[in-house]
Structure 1
Amino acid sequence: MLSKALSSLNTLRIRLFSKVTVSYLRLLGADVCWTTLFYGPVSIIGDPANLSIGSHTKINHNVLINCTDLVSIGSYVTISSGVTLHTSTYQTFRVHVSAPIRIQSHVWIASSAVILPGVSIGTHSIVGALSLVTSSTPPNTVSFGSPARTIREIDSSWFNL
Structure 2
Amino acid sequence: MDTITIESFALVSQRAHLCAGSHDVDDVDFPLVTEPIRIGAHAWVAAEAFVGPGVTVHPHAVLGARAVTVKDLDEANIYVGNPAKFLRARTIHG
Please report the TM-score for the alignment, with normalisation by the length of structure 1. Answer: 0.53
Counterpart of 1:154?
90
Q: Distance in 2 between matches of 1:91 and 1:140?
A: 32
**Structure 2 unaligned blocks of 5 or more:** none
Give the drift of 1:96: 2.5
Work out whether 1:86 is the aligned partner of 2:16.
no
Task: Indicate conservation of the 8 Å contact 1:124/1:159, yes or no.
Answer: no
Give the drift of 1:104: 0.6
Aligned residues: 91
**1:32-71 alignment, distance < 5 Å:** 68-71=1-4
Correspondent of 1:128 among 64, 75, 78: 64
Alpha-carbon spacing, 1:108–1:159, altered in 2? closer, same or farther (3 Å): farther
2:3 alignment partner AA: L
Counterpart of 1:72?
5
Bigger Cα Rg: 1
Q: Distance in 2 between matches of 1:95 and 1:149?
A: 30
1:149 alignment partner AA: K
Q: Distance in 1 between matches of 2:13 and 2:93?
A: 18
Structure 2 counterpart SS, 1:92: coil
Identity of aligned residues (%): 26
Alpha-carbon spacing, 1:125–1:143, altered in 2? closer, same or farther (3 Å): same
1:96 alignment partner AA: L
Structure 2 counterpart SS, 1:106: coil
Q: Distance in 2 between matches of 1:73 and 1:95?
A: 27
Q: Distance in 1 between matches of 2:93 and 2:53?
A: 28
**Structure 1 unaligned blocks of 5 or more:** 1-67
Give the drift of 1:90: 1.8
RMSD: 1.3
Q: Distance in 2 between matches of 1:108 and 1:125?
A: 6
Alpha-carbon spacing, 1:95–1:159, altered in 2? closer, same or farther (3 Å): farther
Correspondent of 2:74 among 138, 141, 157: 138
1:108 alignment partner AA: W
The one of the two structures with greater contact order (alpha-carbon pairs below 8 A, sep at least 6) is 2
Give the drift of 1:95: 3.9
